[in-house]
Amino acid sequence: MHPPERLDRFMARANTIYYATHDPFADFTTSPEISQVFGEILGLWAAVVWRMLGSPGPVLLAEAGPGRGTLMADALRAIGRAAPDFAAALRVHLIETSPRLRTAQAARVPEAVWHDSLDTVPEAPLILLANEFLDALPIRQFVRRGDGWTERFVADGAWIEQPADNAQVPPGRGAAEGGIVELNEPARAFVAALAGRLRRHPGVALLVDYGPASSAAGDSLQALARRKPVDPLSPPGSADLTAHVDFADMAETARSAGAAVQGPVTQGAFLSALGVFQRTAALARGRSETQAAALREGTRRLTDAAAMGDLFKVLVVASPGCGTLPGFAADPGR
Ligand code: SAH
Protein backbone atom coordinates (compact mmCIF):
# COMPACT_ATOMS: atom_id res chain seq x y z
CA MET A 1 0.00 0.00 0.00
CA HIS A 2 1.26 3.45 -0.95
CA PRO A 3 -0.37 6.53 0.51
CA PRO A 4 -2.94 8.04 -1.90
CA GLU A 5 -1.32 10.37 -4.42
CA ARG A 6 -3.13 13.48 -5.64
CA LEU A 7 -3.84 13.21 -9.39
CA ASP A 8 -1.49 16.04 -10.40
CA ARG A 9 1.37 14.41 -8.46
CA PHE A 10 0.63 11.05 -10.05
CA MET A 11 0.47 12.65 -13.53
CA ALA A 12 3.71 14.58 -13.00
CA ARG A 13 5.51 11.43 -11.84
CA ALA A 14 4.07 9.30 -14.64
CA ASN A 15 4.98 11.81 -17.38
CA THR A 16 8.49 12.35 -16.02
CA ILE A 17 9.14 8.62 -16.29
CA TYR A 18 7.36 8.47 -19.62
CA TYR A 19 9.27 11.30 -21.34
CA ALA A 20 12.59 10.12 -19.89
CA THR A 21 12.22 6.55 -21.12
CA HIS A 22 10.12 6.62 -24.31
CA ASP A 23 10.19 7.95 -27.76
CA PRO A 24 6.76 9.58 -27.27
CA PHE A 25 6.22 9.70 -30.99
CA ALA A 26 5.75 5.95 -31.11
CA ASP A 27 2.63 6.53 -28.98
CA PHE A 28 1.17 9.68 -30.46
CA THR A 29 1.79 12.10 -33.27
CA THR A 30 1.77 15.88 -33.29
CA SER A 31 1.32 18.59 -35.90
CA PRO A 32 5.05 19.21 -36.53
CA GLU A 33 5.57 15.45 -36.97
CA ILE A 34 2.64 15.25 -39.41
CA SER A 35 3.92 17.92 -41.79
CA GLN A 36 6.87 20.24 -42.27
CA VAL A 37 4.45 23.03 -43.26
CA PHE A 38 3.36 23.40 -39.62
CA GLY A 39 6.78 24.52 -38.35
CA GLU A 40 7.47 26.50 -41.53
CA ILE A 41 4.25 28.50 -41.18
CA LEU A 42 4.94 29.17 -37.47
CA GLY A 43 8.46 30.32 -38.37
CA LEU A 44 7.20 32.71 -41.04
CA TRP A 45 4.54 33.95 -38.61
CA ALA A 46 7.32 34.66 -36.08
CA ALA A 47 9.25 36.63 -38.71
CA VAL A 48 6.25 38.87 -39.46
CA VAL A 49 5.60 39.33 -35.74
CA TRP A 50 9.27 40.27 -35.17
CA ARG A 51 8.90 43.12 -37.67
CA MET A 52 5.65 44.23 -36.00
CA LEU A 53 7.56 44.38 -32.69
CA GLY A 54 10.07 46.78 -34.31
CA SER A 55 12.71 44.17 -35.27
CA PRO A 56 14.42 44.00 -31.85
CA GLY A 57 17.86 42.45 -31.74
CA PRO A 58 18.83 40.26 -30.13
CA VAL A 59 15.45 38.55 -29.78
CA LEU A 60 14.83 35.17 -28.18
CA LEU A 61 13.04 32.61 -30.32
CA ALA A 62 11.98 30.18 -27.62
CA GLU A 63 10.00 26.97 -27.58
CA ALA A 64 8.42 25.17 -24.64
CA GLY A 65 8.25 21.37 -24.86
CA PRO A 66 10.00 21.03 -28.25
CA GLY A 67 9.66 17.23 -28.52
CA ARG A 68 12.02 16.04 -31.24
CA GLY A 69 12.94 19.60 -32.24
CA THR A 70 11.10 19.24 -35.53
CA LEU A 71 8.97 22.37 -35.23
CA MET A 72 11.97 24.57 -34.43
CA ALA A 73 14.13 23.03 -37.18
CA ASP A 74 11.36 23.58 -39.77
CA ALA A 75 10.76 27.12 -38.50
CA LEU A 76 14.46 28.02 -38.64
CA ARG A 77 14.81 26.66 -42.18
CA ALA A 78 11.88 28.78 -43.38
CA ILE A 79 13.15 31.86 -41.49
CA GLY A 80 16.63 31.45 -42.96
CA ARG A 81 15.22 31.55 -46.48
CA ALA A 82 12.55 34.24 -46.09
CA ALA A 83 13.91 36.52 -43.34
CA PRO A 84 17.72 36.41 -43.04
CA ASP A 85 17.71 39.58 -40.89
CA PHE A 86 15.46 37.84 -38.34
CA ALA A 87 17.66 34.72 -38.56
CA ALA A 88 20.67 36.87 -37.68
CA ALA A 89 18.94 38.60 -34.76
CA LEU A 90 17.41 35.56 -33.06
CA ARG A 91 18.77 33.28 -30.32
CA VAL A 92 17.15 29.88 -29.85
CA HIS A 93 16.13 28.88 -26.31
CA LEU A 94 14.40 25.57 -25.60
CA ILE A 95 12.50 24.69 -22.42
CA GLU A 96 12.71 20.92 -21.97
CA THR A 97 12.94 18.68 -18.93
CA SER A 98 13.54 15.31 -20.62
CA PRO A 99 17.25 14.54 -21.14
CA ARG A 100 16.33 12.04 -23.81
CA LEU A 101 14.36 14.58 -25.83
CA ARG A 102 17.08 17.22 -25.33
CA THR A 103 19.46 14.87 -27.15
CA ALA A 104 17.00 14.55 -30.03
CA GLN A 105 16.57 18.33 -30.12
CA ALA A 106 20.33 18.93 -30.12
CA ALA A 107 20.68 16.82 -33.26
CA ARG A 108 18.28 19.13 -35.12
CA VAL A 109 18.91 22.49 -33.43
CA PRO A 110 22.52 22.35 -32.19
CA GLU A 111 22.75 26.11 -31.59
CA ALA A 112 20.00 26.10 -28.94
CA VAL A 113 20.38 26.92 -25.25
CA TRP A 114 18.35 24.63 -22.95
CA HIS A 115 16.35 25.39 -19.82
CA ASP A 116 14.39 23.30 -17.32
CA SER A 117 11.78 26.03 -17.02
CA LEU A 118 10.92 29.53 -18.19
CA ASP A 119 12.56 30.92 -15.02
CA THR A 120 16.10 30.79 -16.40
CA VAL A 121 15.31 32.08 -19.90
CA PRO A 122 16.99 35.53 -20.13
CA GLU A 123 14.81 38.62 -19.80
CA ALA A 124 14.72 40.02 -23.35
CA PRO A 125 12.38 40.57 -26.29
CA LEU A 126 10.74 37.21 -26.79
CA ILE A 127 8.84 35.18 -29.37
CA LEU A 128 7.80 31.90 -27.79
CA LEU A 129 6.17 28.95 -29.52
CA ALA A 130 4.59 25.95 -27.83
CA ASN A 131 2.72 23.05 -29.39
CA GLU A 132 1.14 20.47 -27.09
CA PHE A 133 3.15 21.68 -24.11
CA LEU A 134 0.37 22.83 -21.75
CA ASP A 135 -1.64 19.63 -22.28
CA ALA A 136 1.22 17.57 -20.80
CA LEU A 137 1.29 19.55 -17.53
CA PRO A 138 -0.33 17.84 -14.53
CA ILE A 139 -3.96 18.56 -13.68
CA ARG A 140 -6.10 18.25 -10.57
CA GLN A 141 -9.68 16.96 -10.76
CA PHE A 142 -12.55 17.85 -8.45
CA VAL A 143 -15.82 15.91 -8.26
CA ARG A 144 -19.18 17.51 -7.48
CA ARG A 145 -20.69 15.76 -4.42
CA GLY A 146 -23.84 17.27 -2.95
CA ASP A 147 -23.21 20.92 -2.04
CA GLY A 148 -19.45 20.58 -2.16
CA TRP A 149 -16.53 18.90 -3.85
CA THR A 150 -14.11 16.04 -3.44
CA GLU A 151 -10.71 15.73 -5.10
CA ARG A 152 -9.45 12.72 -7.04
CA PHE A 153 -6.43 10.79 -5.77
CA VAL A 154 -4.80 7.60 -7.01
CA ALA A 155 -4.28 4.70 -4.59
CA ASP A 156 -2.72 1.46 -5.81
CA GLY A 157 -3.87 1.97 -9.38
CA ALA A 158 -7.45 2.94 -8.48
CA TRP A 159 -9.32 6.21 -8.07
CA ILE A 160 -10.31 7.42 -4.64
CA GLU A 161 -11.88 10.71 -3.55
CA GLN A 162 -10.92 12.83 -0.59
CA PRO A 163 -12.61 15.96 0.76
CA ALA A 164 -11.57 19.05 -1.21
CA ASP A 165 -10.97 22.64 -0.29
CA ASN A 166 -14.01 24.08 -2.09
CA ALA A 167 -12.25 27.43 -2.55
CA GLN A 168 -9.71 25.80 -4.91
CA VAL A 169 -12.32 24.57 -7.37
CA PRO A 170 -12.51 26.80 -10.47
CA PRO A 171 -16.01 28.34 -10.44
CA GLY A 172 -18.61 28.50 -13.17
CA ARG A 173 -18.09 25.13 -14.90
CA GLY A 174 -21.62 23.92 -14.13
CA ALA A 175 -20.84 20.38 -12.97
CA ALA A 176 -23.84 18.17 -12.13
CA GLU A 177 -23.67 15.63 -9.26
CA GLY A 178 -20.64 13.41 -9.90
CA GLY A 179 -19.33 15.80 -12.59
CA ILE A 180 -15.64 16.67 -12.83
CA VAL A 181 -13.92 20.06 -12.94
CA GLU A 182 -10.24 20.26 -13.83
CA LEU A 183 -7.52 22.67 -12.77
CA ASN A 184 -4.10 22.96 -14.41
CA GLU A 185 -1.99 24.90 -11.90
CA PRO A 186 1.39 24.65 -13.71
CA ALA A 187 -0.24 25.85 -16.95
CA ARG A 188 -1.61 28.84 -15.08
CA ALA A 189 1.79 29.51 -13.50
CA PHE A 190 3.54 29.24 -16.87
CA VAL A 191 1.11 31.65 -18.58
CA ALA A 192 1.25 34.10 -15.67
CA ALA A 193 5.07 34.11 -15.73
CA LEU A 194 5.00 34.57 -19.49
CA ALA A 195 2.57 37.48 -19.15
CA GLY A 196 4.87 39.12 -16.60
CA ARG A 197 7.80 38.93 -19.02
CA LEU A 198 5.75 40.28 -21.89
CA ARG A 199 4.81 43.26 -19.75
CA ARG A 200 8.50 44.03 -19.19
CA HIS A 201 9.80 43.32 -22.72
CA PRO A 202 8.12 43.36 -26.14
CA GLY A 203 7.07 39.97 -27.32
CA VAL A 204 4.43 37.35 -28.00
CA ALA A 205 3.77 33.72 -27.16
CA LEU A 206 1.87 31.46 -29.54
CA LEU A 207 0.26 28.59 -27.63
CA VAL A 208 -1.16 25.76 -29.73
CA ASP A 209 -3.00 22.94 -28.00
CA TYR A 210 -6.15 20.87 -27.84
CA GLY A 211 -9.18 21.79 -25.81
CA PRO A 212 -12.36 23.84 -25.82
CA ALA A 213 -12.50 27.62 -26.28
CA SER A 214 -14.80 28.05 -23.27
CA SER A 215 -14.50 26.39 -19.87
CA ALA A 216 -16.73 23.41 -19.21
CA ALA A 217 -17.04 20.56 -16.74
CA GLY A 218 -15.84 17.11 -17.79
CA ASP A 219 -13.09 14.53 -17.44
CA SER A 220 -10.58 15.12 -20.25
CA LEU A 221 -7.66 13.08 -18.88
CA GLN A 222 -6.34 10.90 -21.69
CA ALA A 223 -3.66 8.22 -21.82
CA LEU A 224 -2.16 6.98 -25.07
CA ALA A 225 0.13 4.03 -25.62
CA ARG A 226 0.99 2.93 -29.15
CA ARG A 227 -1.54 5.43 -30.52
CA LYS A 228 -4.42 3.76 -28.64
CA PRO A 229 -6.30 5.04 -25.59
CA VAL A 230 -5.46 3.12 -22.41
CA ASP A 231 -6.45 3.46 -18.74
CA PRO A 232 -4.89 6.69 -17.34
CA LEU A 233 -4.04 4.72 -14.20
CA SER A 234 -1.87 2.26 -16.15
CA PRO A 235 1.53 1.85 -14.45
CA PRO A 236 3.26 5.26 -14.29
CA GLY A 237 5.43 5.87 -17.34
CA SER A 238 3.74 3.30 -19.59
CA ALA A 239 1.52 5.83 -21.36
CA ASP A 240 1.48 9.52 -22.26
CA LEU A 241 -0.97 11.46 -20.07
CA THR A 242 -2.54 14.68 -21.32
CA ALA A 243 -5.67 16.72 -20.67
CA HIS A 244 -7.60 19.41 -22.50
CA VAL A 245 -6.25 22.90 -22.18
CA ASP A 246 -8.87 25.33 -20.86
CA PHE A 247 -8.24 28.24 -23.23
CA ALA A 248 -10.67 30.60 -21.48
CA ASP A 249 -8.81 29.99 -18.21
CA MET A 250 -5.44 30.56 -19.90
CA ALA A 251 -6.69 33.82 -21.48
CA GLU A 252 -8.09 35.03 -18.15
CA THR A 253 -4.81 34.15 -16.39
CA ALA A 254 -2.78 36.12 -18.96
CA ARG A 255 -5.07 39.15 -18.77
CA SER A 256 -5.03 39.18 -14.97
CA ALA A 257 -1.22 39.18 -15.12
CA GLY A 258 -1.28 42.26 -17.35
CA ALA A 259 -0.72 40.86 -20.84
CA ALA A 260 -2.87 41.18 -23.94
CA VAL A 261 -4.56 38.14 -25.47
CA GLN A 262 -5.59 37.31 -29.04
CA GLY A 263 -7.76 34.32 -29.93
CA PRO A 264 -8.21 31.50 -29.37
CA VAL A 265 -8.86 30.70 -33.00
CA THR A 266 -9.04 27.18 -34.37
CA GLN A 267 -5.86 25.67 -35.79
CA GLY A 268 -7.69 25.20 -39.10
CA ALA A 269 -8.64 28.90 -39.33
CA PHE A 270 -5.18 30.02 -38.23
CA LEU A 271 -3.25 27.91 -40.72
CA SER A 272 -5.68 28.76 -43.54
CA ALA A 273 -5.35 32.50 -42.86
CA LEU A 274 -1.57 32.10 -43.04
CA GLY A 275 -1.72 30.44 -46.46
CA VAL A 276 -1.16 26.79 -45.60
CA PHE A 277 -2.92 25.58 -48.75
CA GLN A 278 -0.87 27.83 -51.04
CA ARG A 279 2.34 26.78 -49.30
CA THR A 280 1.42 23.11 -49.58
CA ALA A 281 0.67 23.51 -53.31
CA ALA A 282 3.99 25.32 -53.86
CA LEU A 283 5.92 22.58 -52.02
CA ALA A 284 4.07 19.86 -53.92
CA ARG A 285 5.11 21.27 -57.28
CA GLY A 286 8.15 19.49 -58.58
CA ARG A 287 7.73 16.56 -56.18
CA SER A 288 6.67 13.06 -57.11
CA GLU A 289 2.92 12.36 -57.07
CA THR A 290 3.38 10.21 -53.93
CA GLN A 291 5.23 13.00 -52.09
CA ALA A 292 2.72 15.62 -53.27
CA ALA A 293 -0.18 13.47 -52.04
CA ALA A 294 1.53 13.02 -48.65
CA LEU A 295 1.96 16.79 -48.30
CA ARG A 296 -1.70 17.41 -49.16
CA GLU A 297 -2.81 14.69 -46.73
CA GLY A 298 -0.69 16.23 -43.94
CA THR A 299 -2.27 19.64 -44.48
CA ARG A 300 -5.73 18.06 -44.54
CA ARG A 301 -5.10 16.44 -41.13
CA LEU A 302 -3.86 19.73 -39.65
CA THR A 303 -6.79 21.79 -40.92
CA ASP A 304 -9.82 19.51 -41.38
CA ALA A 305 -12.52 20.09 -38.76
CA ALA A 306 -12.96 16.33 -38.32
CA ALA A 307 -9.20 15.84 -37.76
CA MET A 308 -7.13 18.46 -35.85
CA GLY A 309 -8.54 21.64 -37.40
CA ASP A 310 -11.25 22.40 -34.83
CA LEU A 311 -10.20 20.68 -31.61
CA PHE A 312 -6.79 22.35 -31.70
CA LYS A 313 -6.75 26.06 -30.87
CA VAL A 314 -4.21 28.83 -31.12
CA LEU A 315 -3.95 31.49 -28.42
CA VAL A 316 -1.60 34.44 -28.35
CA VAL A 317 -0.37 36.10 -25.18
CA ALA A 318 1.29 39.41 -26.08
CA SER A 319 2.78 42.59 -24.72
CA PRO A 320 0.09 45.18 -24.04
CA GLY A 321 -0.63 47.34 -27.09
CA CYS A 322 0.56 44.80 -29.64
CA GLY A 323 -1.41 45.15 -32.91
CA THR A 324 -3.59 42.41 -34.38
CA LEU A 325 -1.27 39.58 -35.32
CA PRO A 326 -1.48 37.51 -38.52
CA GLY A 327 -4.16 34.84 -38.21
CA PHE A 328 -6.08 36.68 -35.48
CA ALA A 329 -8.15 39.15 -37.52
CA ALA A 330 -11.52 39.57 -35.78
CA ASP A 331 -13.55 38.33 -38.73
CA PRO A 332 -11.28 36.42 -41.12
CA GLY A 333 -12.67 36.82 -44.61
CA ARG A 334 -16.33 36.53 -43.63
N1 SAH B 1 5.97 20.17 -29.07
C2 SAH B 1 6.32 18.82 -29.46
C3 SAH B 1 6.24 17.81 -28.32
C4 SAH B 1 4.95 17.71 -27.55
S5 SAH B 1 5.06 16.50 -26.25
C6 SAH B 1 5.48 18.40 -30.64
O7 SAH B 1 4.52 19.08 -30.95
O8 SAH B 1 5.80 17.39 -31.26
C9 SAH B 1 5.35 17.48 -24.80
C10 SAH B 1 6.74 18.05 -24.68
O11 SAH B 1 6.81 18.82 -23.47
C12 SAH B 1 7.87 17.05 -24.60
O13 SAH B 1 8.99 17.59 -25.23
C14 SAH B 1 8.08 16.93 -23.07
O15 SAH B 1 9.32 16.39 -22.72
C16 SAH B 1 7.92 18.36 -22.67
N17 SAH B 1 7.55 18.61 -21.28
C18 SAH B 1 6.58 17.99 -20.57
N19 SAH B 1 6.49 18.53 -19.32
C20 SAH B 1 7.42 19.51 -19.26
C21 SAH B 1 7.81 20.44 -18.25
N22 SAH B 1 7.22 20.48 -17.06
N23 SAH B 1 8.79 21.32 -18.55
C24 SAH B 1 9.39 21.32 -19.76
N25 SAH B 1 9.05 20.46 -20.75
C26 SAH B 1 8.10 19.56 -20.50
Provide the residue type at 63 as one letter: E
Average pLDDT, the chain: 95
Contact 34, 132 (CB under 8 A): no
Assess whether pLDDT exceeds 70 at residue 1: no
CB distance 267 to ligand 1 below 6 Å: no
State the distance from the centre of ligand 1 to the C-alpha of 311, rounded, in angstroms.
Answer: 19
Residue 29 alpha carbon, nearest atom of ligand 1: 8
- Which protein residue has the closest C-alpha to ligand 1 atom 25? 96
State the distance from the centre of ligand 1 to the C-alpha of 334, rounded, in angstroms.
Answer: 35
Give the architecture-level CATH label for domain 21-137+184-229+237-318: 3-Layer(aba) Sandwich (3.40)
**In the chain, domain spans:** 21-137+184-229+237-318
Kindly give the pairing relationship between strand 90-95 and strand 113-115: parallel
Q: What is the mean pLDDT of residues 243-272?
A: 98
Per-residue pLDDT tens digits for 101-154:
999 999 999 999 999 999 999 999 999 999 999 999 999 999 999 999 999 999
Assess whether pLDDT exceeds 70 at residue 89: yes
C-alpha torsion sign, points 22, 26, 30, 33: positive
Q: Checking phi first, is residue 25 left (phi over 0); if not, alpha (psi -120 to 50) or beta?
A: alpha
Cβ-based neighbour number of residue 146 at 10 Å: 7
Give the DSSP letter string of 64-108: ES-TTSHHHHHHHHHHHHH-HHHHHHEEEEEE---HHHHHHHHHH
Per-residue pLDDT tens digits for 170-223:
988 888 999 999 999 999 999 999 999 999 999 999 999 999 989 889 999 999
Kindly give the pairing relationship between strand 126-131 and strand 59-64: parallel
State the distance from the centre of ligand 1 to the C-alpha of 1, rounded, in angstroms.
Answer: 31
- Which protein residue has the closest C-alpha to ligand 1 atom 24? 96
Contact 283, 293 (CB under 8 A): no
Determine the Cα–Cα distance for residues 15 and 6; give it in Å rounded to an integer: 14
State the distance from the centre of ligand 1 to the C-alpha of 99, rounded, in angstroms.
Answer: 11
Helix (H, G, I), strand (E, B) or coil at 202: coil
Burial class (CB in 10 A: 0-12, 13-18, 19+), 312: buried
Query: Using alpha carbons only, how large is the chain's radius of gyration in Å?
Result: 20
